[in-house]
Amino acid sequence: MAKDVYAVNGISITKIYGTEASGVTALNDVSISIRDNEFFTLLGPSGCGKTTLLRCIAGFEQLSSGRILLFDEEIDHLSPNRRPVNTVFQHYALFPHMTVAENIGFSLRMLKQGEAKIKATVGQMLDLVHMTEFAGRHPAQLSGGQQQRVALARALASHPKVLLLDEPLSALDLKLRQEMRVELKQLQEETGITFIFVTHDQEEALTMSDRIAVMSDGKIQQTGNPADIYENPVNHFVADFIGETNFLEATIQSVHTDNARCVLANGAQLSASLTVPKEKGNRVTICIRPEKISLDNPGTAAGGIDGTVERLIYLGTDTHYLVQLGSQTSVLARIQNSRQSPRFKPGDQATVVMDESACRVLAD
């Protein structure tokens, strides 16, 4: 079978700012493979290295070590203006002295295309982002959302092989941000260009991406599709960073092929899926999402763990119950307020039922 060609293939990328001895490591031996025509998101808190990685691909930063291949071609020695990738900057960086049309046509003029061709492409791009009527305006005369569209059109005009987006939605208000998510995703599908999107917003990442790489401390913690990342987090950081999670301290009692029997601090037992190598007797952390936990009246469910409802928060569509399981441990359960589901009050006894496949033993 032929070797896969990736849109971007980063091999052992390390980036240290400052000197080797007293520098700050922004990227620590990161390897990443981004497929062609993929909406790929780099997700992580500020300072995790996601923007640095994007800037390395764009060519604004020199790698301390490692290589980056763009469709199998080395690009490390190329300056930013020689790389067929374009960036949508966080604050757009539209040229204030040029009109919208001039901004969009800038890359084409730099590439020395003919005036007629430039005009045609600019027209197409304006059309693509629904900005045709604003062609003659200057950036200062546009709203944030309009500037965003122009920035997108400008970056897409020269048909880059990869489009890099550096938190482009962060400057917009919530409503506009939600609209732009849909538009961005559509734009990616229409153009067929690989998008690499940097964000710290998990919701943005989950709703738009084909695949997500979760980063922290200059390393990629996990790569996968949104469902994978959300439902099967590999470690504490990923489970904690994305969505709400219960963490349960436990000791492994027995290991089976893909699951493990574990004992909680209060002596209760439960099974959890196991994808990382662990042995009997290991102290581990099990994570489970609040919506994967159900509550039953005591004595009605087999295999549940008995507890006491400590607090509840009513949220209309569902209710969040904090259930105490022994002195050390409590879990948060999110129960839909459907007709069938039982209701509890603080102080009630309840049986906590955790779906085995939703419980995961974390790597750390």
Partner 1 sequence: MNPTRDLKRYPGFGGITWACLVFLYGPLIVIALYSFNEIRSITVWGGFSFSWYVKAFNNDLIQRATYNSLIIAVSAATASTICATAAALAILRNRAFRGREASIGIISLPLMVPEIVTAIASLVFFVLVGIPLGIGSILLAHTVFCIPFAYLPITARLEGIEGHYEEAARDLYADSWQTFRYVMLPMMFPGIVAGFMLAFIISLDDFIITNFVAGPGATTLPLAIYGLVRTGLTPEINAVSTLLLLVSIFFVTLSYLLGKKPGPGR
Contacts with partner 1, residue ranges (CB under 8 A): 58-60, 79-82, 85-87, 89, 91, 93-97, 106-107, 109-111, 138-140, 154-155, 158
Q: Which stretches of the chain are assigned E, i.e. beta strand?
A: 8-17, 24-34, 39-43, 65-70, 73-74, 85-88, 162-166, 194-199, 211-216, 219-224, 246-255, 259-264, 269-273, 283-288, 293-296, 305-314, 318-325, 329-336, 349-354, 360-361
The answer to whether the CB of 166 falls within 8 A of the CB of 51 is yes
Between residues 136 and 298, which has the closer beta carbon with respect to partner 1?
A: 136
Between residues 67 and 137, which has the closer beta carbon with respect to partner 1?
A: 137
- Which among 233, 257, 218 has a CA at the least distance from the CA of 56? 218
Q: How far is the CB of 141 from partner 1 (least distance, A)?
A: 10
Q: Give the single-character DSSP code of 236.
A: H
Between residues 50 and 334, which has the closer beta carbon with respect to partner 1?
A: 50
Q: How far is the CB of 85 from partner 1 (least distance, A)?
A: 8
Q: ∠83-93-77 over CA atoms, to 5°?
A: 20
Between residues 113 and 178, which has the closer beta carbon with respect to partner 1?
A: 113
Q: How far is the CB of 66 from partner 1 (least distance, A)?
A: 21
Q: How far is the CB of 354 from partner 1 (least distance, A)?
A: 48
Cα-Cα-Cα-Cα dihedral of 125, 129, 133, 134, to 10°? -90
Between residues 94 and 262, which has the closer beta carbon with respect to partner 1?
A: 94
- What CA–CA distances, in Å, run from 187 to 34, 125, 210, 244? 18, 11, 14, 31
Q: What are the residues facing 286 on neighbouring strands?
A: 248, 361
Between residues 45 and 80, which has the closer beta carbon with respect to partner 1?
A: 80
Q: How far is the CB of 124 from partner 1 (least distance, A)?
A: 17
